[in-house]
Structure 1
């Protein structure tokens, strides 16, 4: 097993929303539908069994007509603190682990999103394929969803 630091890509962000809303937007299908995919695309939630051992599977239709499938199994859930899941994003990324950490900071939420890869080489390849742009834009959309929830 190689050094964890060299196999992990991480994005840290502070959302201007209380932790319960960030948790809800991250875990509830009606909100996931609004931020999981790039602008102008739609996601379908095939399965969303939010419990340890539960499976999740989302698909999105690509402009060329092919399907992009995201799926995994929840390994650990500590409410309002941590979610750990296996993940495959076929055809681009397979056999990674996602660790998502939530920490209340007054009426804001500190958020740490890490993806752990099998090898440092695979991690570097994923970074070069646009990890930070892709997930960064998804988290920007999540921020907009949170603003909408707060306003309602």
Structure 2
């Protein structure tokens, strides 16, 4: 089932540069990489260059869920592509973020490909949706 994919779009009322840079900043990732309720991100590290790695620890009510990946493409303010490594992903699972100007802000399209099953795809789709809502809230707070 690794050919499964998902796509989530949001209009974010923030400049494209700010939305783009949020995805490369450990401090910002800690604030918005929250795919579920009652989660936190106690640790996030990035080496934001093509070939660089990132690591994010997501903490639900109990335990920790490590996430990591390699940046495959970083095209300033237009696109970020990275691998997605977690206990729930398959080899070569990849996330693409496309950024475009939109009325009053930035259109962000997130595409994630390769999943173990329809269930893991659906769970990731819900998680990415919550992450994008948290990103919107975080950027609004930063610009307030």
For this structure pair, what is the TM-score category when the shorter chain's length is used for normalisation? 0.7 to 0.9
Q: Secondary structure at the residue paired with 2:51?
A: coil
| Rounded Cα–Cα distance in structure 2 between residues aligned with 1:132 and 1:86 | 16
Alignment partner of 1:135 is 2:110: no
Task: Tell me the equivalent position of 1:93.
Answer: 89
Deviations 1:11-34 (A, max 9, x none): 011111111111122221111111
For 1:81 and 1:144, the matched residues in 2 are separated by: 21
TM-score normalised per structure 2: 0.87
For structure 1, list consecutive stretches of 5 or more residues without a partner in the other structure: none
Q: Within 5 Å, give how 1:3-82 maps onto structure 2.
A: 7-37=4-34, 38-64=36-62, 66-82=63-79
**Mapped partners of 1:18, 1:106: distance in 2:** 10
Question: Structure 1 length as normaliser, TM-score?
Answer: 0.83
Q: Which moved more, 1:41-50 or 1:53-62?
A: 41-50
SS of residue in 2 equivalent to 1:93: coil
Q: CA deviation at 1:63?
A: 2.1
Residue 68 of structure 1 deviates from its aligned partner by: 0.2
CA RMSD of superposed structures (Å): 2.1
Q: Which is higher, the Rg of structure 1 or of structure 2?
A: 1
Instruction: State how many pairs are aligned.
Output: 142
CA distance in 2, matches of 1:133, 1:141: 13
Q: What whole-Å deviation, never above 9, does each CA across 1:103-132 have from its counterpart, x for those lacking one?
A: 1125410111010106xxx3523234x222
What secondary structure does 1:20 align onto? helix
User: How many angstroms does 1:84 deviate by?
Assistant: 0.6
**Bigger share in helix:** 1
